[in-house]
Amino acid sequence: MIAVLENEVEELIKEYPGAEKVIRREIEGWQRYYITSPFQEKEKKIFLQCIKKLVTFINQDYKEDKEIKETKKKKRDLDIVYDSELNSLEINQVEWIIEGIIPEKSISFLAGKRGVFKSFISLLISYCVSNGLAVFNKFPSKKSKILYLDEENGLPLIKGRADKIKNGLDIQNNSDVAYSSFAGLKFDSPSSMTALEKVIQEFKPKIVIVDSYRRFVGFDENDAGKVSSLFTDILRPLSEKYGVSWILVHHLRKGMAGRNPIDDMDEIRGSSDLANYADTILIVQRNRGAENNFILKQAKCRYKQEMAPKAINIDWGEDILTMDCVGDAEENIYAVEVCANMIMKWAAETEKTSFNRMEALDAMKSQKQSKPTVERALRMLLDNQKLIKPKRGIYELNPDYKKEEKKASEPQKPLDAFEAKEDKTSEASNYNIEVIKIDGTDFVKVT
């Protein structure tokens, strides 16, 4: 070490922690020259300045070491909010894109078994929100741009469905909806996410609909670690950075659909982290054979009490499609069932085997049944195969259903080995055999 620079070198090492090796290497390179030559003060200052520049701008080891130390320091700093500070803490109110259903900067699931109109619902959401219309004619929306990522249907099918939905909503102008179809995007692919982020940055959507979630991940959907990483490292950061909400269209577990699990969130297929990390979960349920209605259930909402299940009616036409919320599912189903029974009773009393829609509406009007309830009751009777519809507006009693109903209503016959007698005990065995009546039918009790 050059004696005259020893103090200065120690100061440099303190000033630039992590760069000691570089500083000493440079000093040693000049040591031989300065052993035989006197060190002038002017030269010393120039030399020290060169060392500083070298360490600050050239030495990558020092920069990395400095960044690591700063990162470690940040990790050691844990922000604590004490109870005494909560009163003055300003909390931003939740902003909703779709009132009560989709919050801003959120991650949501729209799940159901196959064939329950998930893609139709997603398209309806797209055109309602992009035009500031109430979703299902019930839930107000904030007019926003929609980015629809499709790996399920393809543009020709999407166009046909979108045209019907726009006709049903009476949308004449172009909407702020952008599509990507069969582009092969994967959330766990850096190149895909770079391309997607560029689109989000330029188009500025408020909602990104992913149809369907499984097509956009290359890993096992049961892998909790990768699912967690997807949310925490990819989707959530994009939500915070660009203010975007995600609607992930997904499927239910096999064998779960149609049942009543203790926790509806257990129906979501894949790792439990999917349901745990989601802000809201919507489950679509469709009764077997039902073509004109479904139930929308909110299984989870992080920001408020989950809404009651809603009954949604679908009106299909040749070139039109509408979806309307007709009330709470439980109340609606009960009212429709009552009206359906009234229609069947009216048909039996008037000995009608065939009638038209207007006849049913007029008959039920005297029973104080509304037009929408009567129409839903007719749909229910069709779904339950009590009625058939040979042509538009005409309904007929289903003769096959009447046969099945008559067969089911016949009383059960007692066992052939015993006649319908009271308190009869067999003498041929050690068993007590007793004939009892339940609802007018004889049953044998053996004790």
Q: Measure the CA–CA gap between 60 and 21, rounded to whole angstroms.
A: 12
Residue 347 · residue 397 · CB < 8 Å: yes
For residue 429, what pLDDT is reported?
Answer: 45
Both tokens assigned to 439: 């609802």
Count the alpha carbons within 13 Å of 267 in the hemisphere toward its beta carbon. 28
For residue 76, what pLDDT is reported?
Answer: 54
Cβ-Cβ contacts under 8 Å for 375 (sequence gap 6 or more): 357
Q: Measure the CA–CA gap between 332 and 31, rounded to whole angstroms.
A: 93
| Region at 388 (left for phi over 0; alpha for psi -120 to 50; beta for the rest) | beta
For residue 231, what pLDDT is reported?
Answer: 95
DSSP-derived pairing of the beta strands 280-285 and 293-301: antiparallel
For residue 126, what pLDDT is reported?
Answer: 98
Give, in order, the Cα–Cα distances in Å from 169 to each of 80, 136, 173, 324, 409.
50, 10, 11, 11, 46
Q: Reduced to 3 states, what is the DSSP secondary structure of residue 31?
A: helix
DSSP secondary structure string for all residues of 416-436: TTS-S-SS---SSSSS-EEEE
Is the pTM higher than 0.75? The answer reads: no
Give, in order, the Cα–Cα distances in Å from 349 to each of 184, 358, 363, 399.
61, 18, 12, 17
Both tokens assigned to 217: 């991940």
If DSSP states are collapsed to H, E and C, what string results for 368-409? CCCHHHHHHHHHHHHHCCCEEEEECCEEEECHHHHHHHHHHH
Both tokens assigned to 354: 């065939």
Angle (CA) 368-393-296 rounded to 5° is 65
Side chain identity, residue 370: S
| H or E stretch covering 321 | strand 321-328
For residue 298, what pLDDT is reported?
Answer: 95
- Domains in the chain, CATH or no CATH each: 3-76 (no CATH), 96-307 (3.40.50.300), 331-409 (1.10.10.980), 412-447 (no CATH)
Residue 151 · residue 215 · CB < 8 Å: yes
Side chain identity, residue 181: S
**Cα–Cα nearest to 371, from 337, 324, 339:** 339
The alpha carbon dihedral of 275, 280, 286, 291 has a sign of: negative
**Cα–Cα nearest to 265, from 283, 248, 246:** 283
Side chain identity, residue 322: T
Placement of tokens 């300045």 in the chain: 49
Dihedral pair phi/psi, residue 297, rounded to 5°: -115, 130
Both tokens assigned to 143: 């007019």
Question: Per this entry, what is the length of the chain?
Answer: 447
Q: Measure the CA–CA gap between 120 and 123, rounded to whole angstroms.
A: 5
Tell me what percent of the chain is helix, strand and coil, each rounded to the nearest 5.
Answer: 45, 20, 35
Q: Measure the CA–CA gap between 376 and 332, rounded to whole angstroms.
A: 9
Placement of tokens 């320091």 in the chain: 73
Query: What Rg, from alpha-carbon coordinates, does the chain have?
Result: 36
- Those residues of the chain that have pLDDT short of 50 are 1-4, 57-64, 256-260, 408-429, 444
